Amino acid sequence: MNSFLTDGYASPLFRRLKTLLCCFFATLTLPSFAQQGERDPAALGQSPATGPHVELLTSGTKTSLRGLCVVSDKIIWVSGSSGTVGKSLDGGQTWSWITVPGYEKRDFRDVEGFDDKTALIMAIAEPADILKTTDGGKTWKLVYENKTAGMFMDAMEFWNSNSGIVVGDPVNGRFFVARTFNGGDSWQDSTLQRPEAAPGEGCFASSGTNVRPLDRDEACFVSGGPRSRLFIRNQAIDLPILQGTTSTGANSVAVKDHNKYHGGQHLIVVGGDFAKDTIQEKNCFLTTDGGKTWTRPTTPPHGYRSCVEFIGGNFVLCCGTSGVDVSDDDGMNWRLVSATGFHACRVAKKGKAVFLAGSNGRVAKLVR
């Protein structure tokens, strides 16, 4: 099928609201080195020795980190507000931090790392920019810029070192989509028919995970706000998740079988209401038939969640501003393992390590 979400790439809502979010969650100064070795105790009286727990690796850097890419068990890239990019080459034990020159007041809501030298960062809005480094962050090259009024990019995703996609809020009533087939060296705005947005509908730039590979040659993404939907190929599937206001809807989607041809059957979507982040109402739904039917977990996550990630076997992790939850049964039952908030969680592309990133420069590791 010829679609903007096929052929080898992973595919002005809330403009005021997103600006408020940046101000609310972000802080504005940047120390040279981060604190290390702190531990976040598990919530609900669970002893860290008895199950999964969150170990805080670094905090105190005055930035809100929403971009997170775990290249391997050792190489981690993070990005956030105040033009901040961080990198660790030893599994999060030590960090190097930089402020990208000329972008000191910009918000890098997503990062895609390929190795210890090569990465892309996404500056969200007006102009919407994508920058690339090939020397470990010492210098950055502008590889894409869009000065269209109302532009707001939300997330980017890659299948491999060449094929990628970036999605953004509606422009002239249709969601923004651009693609790359050369590792982000250049990007092309989609010339195919992009999905039409409902009034007020858009995407949340909360964790860089509202767009994901659906299988080996297609993508999907989720929207939120007054209407929340899952977009697969040329389908727009209404979600049963909480929606109806500008602070509600789907924030993140994870696909368990994305590495298979004709995969994309087993998905989890999380979100809720970030303005009431402890509410568990309709904040998570699962499908095993590609979105035809949806199931609510027996025990849902403990509040609004901005990111969800399959981390191996039947284990799933999700996080948000009110805490971190783990499931060992593919998302049917969730257990709160930390009351500390995080924006993003990702498993290593090459490896098994799982890391989280959040406000105040927090980066943590899930220990199992």
Q: Are 55 and 112 in contact (CB under 8 A)?
A: no
Q: Which two tokens stand for residue 207?
A: 């964790």
Per-residue pLDDT of the chain (368 residues; tens, 9 = 90+): 345 555 443 333 344 344 444 444 333 333 332 333 333 444 333 444 468 999 999 999 899 999 999 999 999 999 999 999 999 999 999 999 999 999 999 999 999 999 999 999 999 998 999 999 999 999 999 999 999 999 999 999 999 999 999 999 999 999 999 999 999 999 999 978 799 999 999 999 999 999 999 988 899 999 999 999 999 988 999 999 999 999 999 999 999 999 888 889 999 999 999 999 999 999 999 999 999 999 999 999 999 999 999 999 999 999 999 999 999 999 999 999 999 999 999 999 999 999 999 999 999 999 99
The predicted pLDDT at position 312 comes to 96
Q: What is the pTM of this model?
A: 0.88
The answer to the question of residue 304 being in a domain is yes
- Euclidean distance between CA atoms 108 and 132, whole angstroms: 12
The verdict on residue 280 lying in a domain is yes
pLDDT at 5: 59
Q: Identify whether 3 is part of a domain.
A: no
The type of residue at 358 is G
Q: What share of the chain is helix, strand, coil (3-state, %, to 5)?
A: 5, 40, 55
Residues 6+ apart with CB under 8 A from 216: 159, 258, 259, 260, 261, 263
Q: Residue type for 192, please?
A: L
pLDDT value at position 216? 84
Within a domain: 2: no
* 88-132 residue pLDDT tens: 999 999 999 999 999 999 999 999 999 999 999 999 998 999 999
- How far is residue 142's CA from residue 99's CA, in Å, rounded to a whole number? 15
Q: What is the pLDDT of residue 76?
A: 98
Integer Cα distance of 197 and 323 in angstroms: 31
Phi, psi of 20 (to 5 degrees): -65, -40
Number of domains in the chain: 1
What are φ and ψ of residue 16, in 5° steps? -65, -40
Count of Cβ atoms closer than 10 Å to residue 59 Cβ: 18
Asked if the structure places residue 23 within a domain, the reply is yes
Residue 174, Cβ neighbours under 10 Å: how many?
14
Tell me the sheet residues that pair with 299: 333
Query: Residue-wise over 9-48: b if at least 16 C-beta within 10 A, else e?
Result: bbbebbeebbeebbeebbbeebeeebeeeeebbbbeebee
- In order of 64, 276, 345, 354, the CA distances from 76 in angstroms are 16, 31, 12, 10
CATH code at position 99:
2.130.10.10
| Inside any domain, residue 233 | yes
Q: Confirm whether 4 is domain-assigned.
A: no
Q: Which domain holds residue 122?
A: 15-367
On whether residue 10 sits in a domain, the answer given is no
Report d(CA 220, CA 156) in Å as an integer: 12
Distance of CA 257 to the CA centre of its chain: 18
